[in-house]
Amino acid sequence: MKYRPLSKEFYINNRSKLAEKLPSNSIAIFNSNDIMPTNADGTMRFRQNNDIFYLSGIDQEESILVVCPDFPNPDMREILFLRETNEHIAIWEGHKYTKDEAFETSGITNIQWLSNFDQVLNTLMALSESVFLNSNEHLRADVQVESRDARFINQCKSRYPLHTYRRVAPIMHQLRAIKAQEEIQQMQVACDITEKGFRRILSFVKPGVTEYEIEAEFIHEFVRNRSKGFAYEPIIASGANACVLHYIENKEACKDGDLILFDVGAEYGNYNADMSRTIPVNGKFTKRQRSVYDAVLRVQRSAMEMLRPGVNIQDYHKEVGLIMQSELVNLGLIDQTDIKNQDPKWPAYKKYFMHGTSHHLGLDVHDVGTMYEPISKGMVFTVEPGIYIQEEGIGVRLENNIVILEDGYFDLMRNIPIDAEEIEELMRG
Ligand code: GLY
Ligand code: MN
Ligand code: MN
């Protein structure tokens, strides 16, 4: 791997946290993701399933992790099955994990080739009551293809119809929502690489450059710093394009006098950064742009102060909405009559700020984790207010990534310029 892996102790600890949450006589089984096809013999780049990665650090296709904490023979309580390599695979695809390397990565001592899986599973299932299988239960998942885990659910149920089947996803969401120090360090690297990309484009942007040229500058900086690339499809949106929330075409030339909104983050070691910044194409904000910009920045700073242990995320979103409402009144975008007549389910401020302020961030960009239980120490959130004024061709979003501490927060993007004056100064070169 071109990234620095986390320690095997981290993965050993994650598996023991999982084992603690399983009822007695349980078995939990996790599959790698498939390598997704494109057309003809084309494939997408492999992206490991985040749950098996979180529990093993194994970043390879066709791997299976089995955790069976109460099995009488201690050697059988954790088993990792790997694709057995051969000369042909070595020549065409390159190196695959040896058993020793898989142990060094995961801390799992019982590593077997996949060809043994069916037989070993039979032995484990004979003494197991509850079978915990994995599924994508992200609140906003809209998956049209059958994953390897989903296929395995069908196979397992048809081969062992009389076991009790349970969902492991809620346990994984709970565990993954709280980040360990090592994970936070990995996310800090992702944010630092993102910072390098942003500083690079500050001296590159000028009237006439295209959005796709800016995208190319970012990816150049990311890949040369050991990132696989963008954490998600980058948004490079100049002028009114910034008001299209998921604008990813990045095809226009940037005009003198416009703003450009970037929503761009690097991945590193399968962890993600998620940054938004907004800068003036010609290096100087107009008075109106600056007023909108500073309003968004004030909302972001107030929101960050509100995120602490014990806070209810739904209440937090309502509070941020009220702060935004008052900024929009000051900007002359909404007035007291709009507020008085508003639909409580879609308050007046939503006309200009129509998305949420924060989501969990980690191995997934919109990471798993509850939005209905109080915030806890160790969670990582984005803080990303925005104001989008279609009629003025102005869209501003500012997005940082913060870790929740016992008594406040730590900003993983504290070094990424955000003050309007600092941005102008850096653009002057
Ligand atoms: N870049 C995706 C988001 O901000 O949520
Ligand atoms: Mn974003
Ligand atoms: Mn985000």
Nearest ligand by distance to the CA of 232: 1
As annotated, the active-site residues are 41, 246, 263, 274, 355, 359, 366, 384, 388, 397, 399
- Number of other residues whose CB lies within 10 A of the CB of residue 118: 10
Q: Which residue has the least CA distance to atom 3 on ligand 1? A: 274
Q: How far is the CA of 105 from the centre of ligand 2 (A)?
A: 31
Q: Decide: 384 in ligand 1 pocket, CB within 6 A.
A: yes
Q: Which residue has the least CA distance to atom 2 on ligand 1? A: 274
Bridge partners of 268, per DSSP, are 271
pLDDT in tens, 346-403: 999 999 999 999 999 999 999 999 889 999 999 999 999 999 999 999 999 999 999 9
Q: Which residue has the least CA distance to atom 5 on ligand 1? A: 366
Tell me the pLDDT band of 153, cut-offs 50, 70 and 90: very high
- The pLDDT, as a whole number, for residue 364 is 98
Strands 130-133 and 110-113: unpaired
| Length of the chain measured in residues | 429
Q: Is 6 exposed, middle or buried (0-12, 13-18, 19+ CB in 10 A)?
A: buried
Q: How far is the CA of 384 from the centre of ligand 3 (A)?
A: 6
- The pLDDT, as a whole number, for residue 179 is 98
Question: Could you tell me the CA-to-CA distances from 284 to 76, 289, 399, 424 in Å, in that order?
Answer: 64, 9, 20, 6
- The pLDDT, as a whole number, for residue 163 is 98
Taking alpha carbons only, the member of 29, 95, 107, 122 closest to residue 68 is 29
Q: Which residue carries 């003494």 as its tokens?
A: 127
- Number of other residues whose CB lies within 10 A of the CB of residue 187: 24
The residue whose CB lies within 8 Å of the most ligand 1 atoms, and thus the one to mutate among 355, 357, 384, is 384
Q: Decide: 263 in ligand 1 pocket, CB within 6 A.
A: yes
- Domains in the chain (CATH in brackets) are 8-177 (3.40.350.10), 181-428 (3.90.230.10)
Residues 6+ apart with CB under 8 A from 311: 374, 375
Bridge partners of 384, per DSSP, are none
pLDDT in tens, 194-250: 999 999 999 999 999 999 999 999 999 999 999 999 999 999 999 999 999 999 999
Q: How far is the CA of 274 from the centre of ligand 2 (A)?
A: 5
Q: How far is the CA of 181 from the centre of ligand 3 (A)?
A: 21
d(CA 323, CA 336): 14
Mean pLDDT of the chain: 97
**Does residue 119 register a pLDDT over 90?**
yes
Q: Decide: 367 in ligand 1 pocket, CB within 6 A.
A: no
For the CA of 399, the closest atom of ligand 1 is 4
Q: How far is the CA of 51 from the centre of ligand 2 (A)?
A: 22
Tell me the pLDDT band of 429, cut-offs 50, 70 and 90: confident
Side-chain-side CA neighbours of residue 236 (13 Å) = 25
User: Range with the lowest mean pLDDT among 286-290, 370-374, 408-412, 419-423?
Assistant: 370-374
- The pLDDT, as a whole number, for residue 405 is 98
pLDDT in tens, 34-82: 999 999 999 999 999 999 999 999 999 999 999 999 999 999 999 999 9
